[in-house]
Amino acid sequence: MNSVEPFISAPGFKAKQVYEQIADAIRSGIVSGAFPDGSRLPSERELALRFGVSRPAVREAIGALQNEGYVLTRHGSGTYVTWTPRPDADTGALAAAGLVQASVNADISPTSILDVRMLIEPAIARLAARHKQRDPLAEQYLQQMSDVRDIDDPAQQAAWNTADSMFHRQLAVMTRDALVVKIADEIAKSMDQRLWQRLRDDGIYDHQRIQLYVAEHRLIYEAVVLGDGDAAAFYIEGHLKRVRADIATRD
């Protein structure tokens, strides 16, 4: 038997995203006790300098650790450790288990999602604008977003998240192109991931911000309906840039 054969059916290697590597390092520090329960982590700016990475990558790592229950971010105060091992726990084994579990369940980087959306969604808006037609479902999603008054309420937050994602998907439906819709479905799935939702919810946390986003969505829709593809693409690029700025950093 060829010595290479046993490796042919082995699972492929998966390169870790930058935010995963940062989260691994911070998680290991928490589990080892370098960052004890209740302590404040260094600021995002400090961590970015320490690891030699961008602040958005640190923000993503912090978001992932929040989802895992290791830390809690308080607006205007910082990020605090909320995890402590049992007195008899093997911290080395806990760290190894945490690294494996996080790697298996890792979400797509929100920065990567936004990069792809910036490439694709302006083109979708231009294609949809060719048909110059109103869409009842798109208008329904716009109204659902407009009806949100308390973004801290879990039910209204969920309603916002759904309407936001489905509005962008409906723009793809308005192109009348099945392949474009399939691509939009993949983008929508990535926006259902917990890390994307965590960073978006942390970045959009007051009523005024919600109404600004609603206004931007309406500009996109009206440009599509009027058949102005260039304006629709311009508005959606501006909207995505705002989303990027809002979810990129917190301190």
Same domain, 32 and 72: yes
In a domain, 6, yes or no: no
Residue 5 in any domain: the answer is: no
Residue 179 CB-density burial (10 A; 0-12 exposed, 13-18 middle, 19+ buried): exposed
pLDDT at 238: 97
Structure confidence at residue 98 (pLDDT)? 53
For residue 235, the enclosing domain spans 110-248
Last residue of a domain, which of 52, 69, 104? 104
Q: Are residues 78 and 154 in the same domain?
A: no
Report d(CA 92, CA 32) in Å as an integer: 7
pLDDT at 94: 53
Q: Are residues 132 and 239 in the same domain?
A: yes
DSSP string, 29-43: HHHHTSS-TTPBPPP
Same domain, 125 and 92: no
- In the chain, the amino acid numbered 181 is V
19 belongs to a structural domain = yes
CATH assignment at residue 218: 1.20.120.530
Packed helices 18-32 and 91-104: angle between N→C axes, nearest 10 degrees: 160
* 129, 217: one domain: yes
> Given this model, what pLDDT does residue 149 score?
85
Residue 160 makes CB contacts below 8 A (sequence gap 6+) with 144, 145, 148, 151, 204, 210
- Kindly give the confidence (pLDDT) of every residue in the chain, 251 residues in length, as a single tens digit, with 9 standing for 90 and above: 444 444 444 455 567 899 999 999 999 999 988 999 999 999 999 999 999 999 999 999 999 999 999 999 888 789 999 988 665 555 555 555 555 455 557 899 999 999 999 999 999 999 999 999 999 999 999 999 999 888 888 898 889 889 999 999 999 999 999 999 999 999 999 999 999 989 988 887 777 888 899 999 999 999 999 999 999 999 999 999 999 998 876 55
